[in-house]
Amino acid sequence: MTVTMKGSEVAAAMKERLQREVAELRAQGVAPKAAIVRVGARPDDLAYERGAMKRLESVGIACQVFEFPETIGQKEFEAGFKAVNDDPEIHGILLFRPLPRHLDEEAVKRMIDPLKDIDSMSAPNIAKIFSGDETGYAPCTAEAVVHVLDHYGIEVQGRRVTVIGRSMVVGKPLTMLLIKRNATVTVCHTRTKDLPATCRSAEILVAAAGKAKMVTGDFVSDGAVVIDVGINVDDDGKLCGDVDYDAVAAKASHITPVPGGVGAVTSSVLADHVVRAARYLQGNA
């Protein structure tokens, strides 16, 4: 029977651990706190913000939103960002990106304290992921995939894993996290020839392409583990992943649903990074 890997189960297990860790920090006089920095008010940012705040607060992490007007100039935004970055009570910063086009995002990536860079936008953090140094913070979604695999006891060492997608947010960092765990990883993208055949050879398939239901039954061999990172809207206006769920679930041994899969774990990873940041900044990592 196919196992549905539920993000809520992974998040519940992480919550217990995080609550314990936050309590330990508080006992040492440290109150973990995150800042969400948002320019403008895009509906998808607001939706993620609500979910992230709820998750952070549920484990005892304080969260403050710093909202800047969409029309803010570079100098003014950098001054505002610097104030958040320099605030000793703030341990982790999540900046919603992309910034409006008139703002220089690269300059902000250079400004952020790497110890507070809980969503992995600074070069030092990215370098750590690519060099296998686990003291950095991986992008939350990429790391959420690893938590899902771990929670359901799926070993990756020595196994053939195919990742569809090579973005800096999901595909590439996830590939590095999997290599660190000794998986044999194939990365597919828009120029990959015969994508279904490449995917069929995988024991574990991760879809992070952002194309509604593109992974059909033809992409999956019997008994494969399938993780769907995609968040898309189908022709009927319903939320769906990159995987054609019913057709693929009929073949897979394990599969994540959308919604309710990887996406439900992302904000727990964010909370985990705030806890780690609070430890680093206190010098007791």
User: Which residues of this chain interact with ligand NAD, rule CB under 6 A?
Assistant: 141, 164-167, 169-171, 188-190, 192, 195, 208-211, 214, 229-232, 262-263, 266
In the complex, least distance from residue 25 CB atom to ligand NAD, rounded to whole angstroms: 26
Closest CB to ligand NAD among 35 and 170?
170
The answer to whether 253 and 221 are in contact (CB under 8 A) is no
Tokens representing 48 are: 């993620």
Shortest distance, CB of residue 215 to ligand NAD, whole angstroms?
9
Nearer to ligand NAD, 107 or 168 (CB): 168
Residue nearer to ligand NAD on the CB measure, 48 or 81? 48
CB of residue 168 vs ligand NAD: minimum separation in angstroms?
8
Q: How far is the CB of 187 from ligand NAD (least distance, A)?
A: 9
Closer to ligand NAD by Cβ: residue 85 or 230: 230
164 to each of 16, 173, 174, 256, how far by Cα in Å? 32, 12, 11, 15
Nearest approach, Cβ of residue 228 and ligand NAD (Å)? 9
Nearer to ligand NAD by Cβ, of 122 and 162: the residue is 162
